[in-house]
């Protein structure tokens, strides 16, 4: 006679870089229900708007998450700029796109390495992280930081990139492209990888949409939704189409991230070709008043920064809705009916960032 038991998963587990806890209701090795629990690393970052003036707070926004650092800072700045009617120089908008796509590559390569490690492919893990080092080297050379860039600011960006360096970056990315193709042959075509990922963690397009999935989790369920299509920063001047897969399983979500690496290289190359000369920032004076929802596409999906000004140098409110928060309900749906042994791989396919989630 079968009997339901509760198996705890996390907060400490080899596949989890950050503490996420799931209570798994299991019957005969089948997961009947997954009950998530968060709250292990709450840092109170949103409260710091009471202590830091709005130009300084961009440094706090960047530290919501190290992997998504630049895009967090940029999204916050976009909200303040819209609220204060600040027109950002065109060159700064292109630089924001370049660094955003480098951040996406950095994040996806990190995830692919962790995903390979979760499946037991240690050599593949090291290869993905080796390529990630080249991306981080370019980010460090152009911003001064490998993880926390500190280059976004209200009114533009803090650093420029010379034409010679931009050309050098494009040449380096073409070299990375060739190595990526070899690595993706394993992620996308290896029979043992397919056996671990095909028809596992199913999430239908209807469930993905209704449960509020975002990013590769949503696009892996054949829903072409990407905030970059709205044309923020300089994306409206670049050719962009979202990467979509129709498998609705773990393999599809892996394939979306793998193919987005090549899409990011193409976007960076086009941005370098079209970037205009000119200033990289404008002087911002005054005090923000009003409210605005600023949106951007992080590597994990849509992020929303809600900013509210009260006419002083300190914001009245700053609230963040992160991609991981949006993808927890879809994760719960994916886990229903799966084998207990598949839980780690399915959980990894939403690329959970608990530091982002809890702040």
Question: 65 a known binding residue?
Answer: yes
Residues 37-66: b if buried by 16+ CB within 10 A, e if exposed: ebeeeeeebbebbeebebeebbbbbbbbbb
Cβ(24)–Cβ(346) below 8 Å: no
Supply φ then ψ for residue 234, to 5 degrees. Answer: -110, 15
- 3-class DSSP state of 207: helix
Question: 154 a known binding residue?
Answer: no
Give the C-alpha separation, 152 to 69, whole Å: 10
Query: Hey, what are 24's tokens?
Result: 């798994």
Which residue from 143, 135, 142 is spatially nearest to 110, judged by alpha carbons? 135
Residues 310-341: b if buried by 16+ CB within 10 A, e if exposed: eeeebbeebebbbbbbbbbebbebbbeebebe
Quote the DSSP letter at residue 277.
P
Which residue from 263, 339, 265, 348 is spatially nearest to 300, judged by alpha carbons? 348
Within 215-342, residue ranges assigned H as helices are 216-219, 250-274, 323-335
Question: 101 a known binding residue?
Answer: no
Query: Hey, what are 356's tokens?
Result: 């982002």
The gap from C-alpha 140 to its chain's centroid, in whole angstroms, comes to 19
CA count, 13 A, side-chain hemisphere, 181 = 6
Spell out the residues 6+ positions from residue 87 whose beta carbon is closer than 8 angstroms to its own: 81, 282
Give the annotated binding-site residues for Ni(2+). Answer: 65, 68, 353
Binding site listing: 46, 65, 68, 320, 353, 356
Binding residues for Mg(2+), by number, are 46, 320
Annotated binding site for Fe cation: 68, 356
């Amino acid at each position: 006679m079968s009997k339901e038991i509760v198996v705890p998963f996390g907060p400490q587990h080899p596949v989890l870089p950050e503490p996420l806890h799931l209570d798994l209701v299991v019957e005969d090795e089948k997961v009947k229900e997954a009950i998530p629990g968060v709250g292990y690393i709450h840092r109170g970052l949103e409260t710091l708007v009471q202590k830091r003036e709005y130009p300084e707070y961009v440094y706090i926004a960047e530290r919501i998450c190290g992997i998504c650092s630049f895009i967090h800072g940029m999204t916050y700045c976009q909200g303040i700029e819209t609220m204060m009617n600040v027109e950002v120089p065109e060159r700064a908008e292109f630089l924001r796109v370049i660094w955003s796509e480098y951040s996406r590559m950095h994040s996806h390569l990190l995830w692919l390495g962790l995903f390979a490690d979760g499946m037991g492919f240690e050599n593949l893990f090291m290869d993905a992280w080796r390529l990630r080092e080249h991306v981080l080297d370019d980010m460090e050379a152009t911003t001064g930081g490998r993880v926390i860039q500190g280059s976004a600011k209200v009114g533009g960006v803090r650093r420029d990139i010379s034409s010679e360096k931009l050309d050098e970056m494009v040449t380096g990315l073409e070299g990375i492209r060739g190595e990526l193709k070899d690595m993706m042959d394993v992620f996308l075509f290896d029979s043992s990888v397919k056996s671990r990922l095909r028809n596992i963690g199913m999430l239908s397009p209807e469930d993905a949409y209704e449960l509020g999935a975002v990013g590769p989790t949503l696009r892996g369920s054949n829903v072409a939704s990407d905030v970059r299509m709205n044309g923020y920063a300089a994306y409206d001047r670049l050719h962009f189409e979202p990467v979509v897969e129709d498998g609705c399983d773990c393999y599809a979500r892996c394939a979306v991230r793998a193919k987005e690496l090549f899409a990011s290289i193409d976007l960076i190359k086009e941005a370098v070709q079209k970037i205009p000369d000119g200033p990289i920032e404008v002087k911002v004076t005054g005090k923000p008043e009003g409210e605005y929802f600023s949106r951007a596409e992080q590597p994990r999906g849509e992020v929303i920064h809600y900013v509210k000004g009260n006419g002083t140098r300190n914001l009245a409110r700053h609230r963040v809705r992160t991609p991981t928060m949006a993808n927890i309900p879809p994760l719960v749906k994916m886990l229903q009916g799966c084998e207990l042994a598949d839980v780690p791989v399915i959980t990894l396919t939403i690329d959970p960032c608990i530091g982002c989630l809890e702040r």
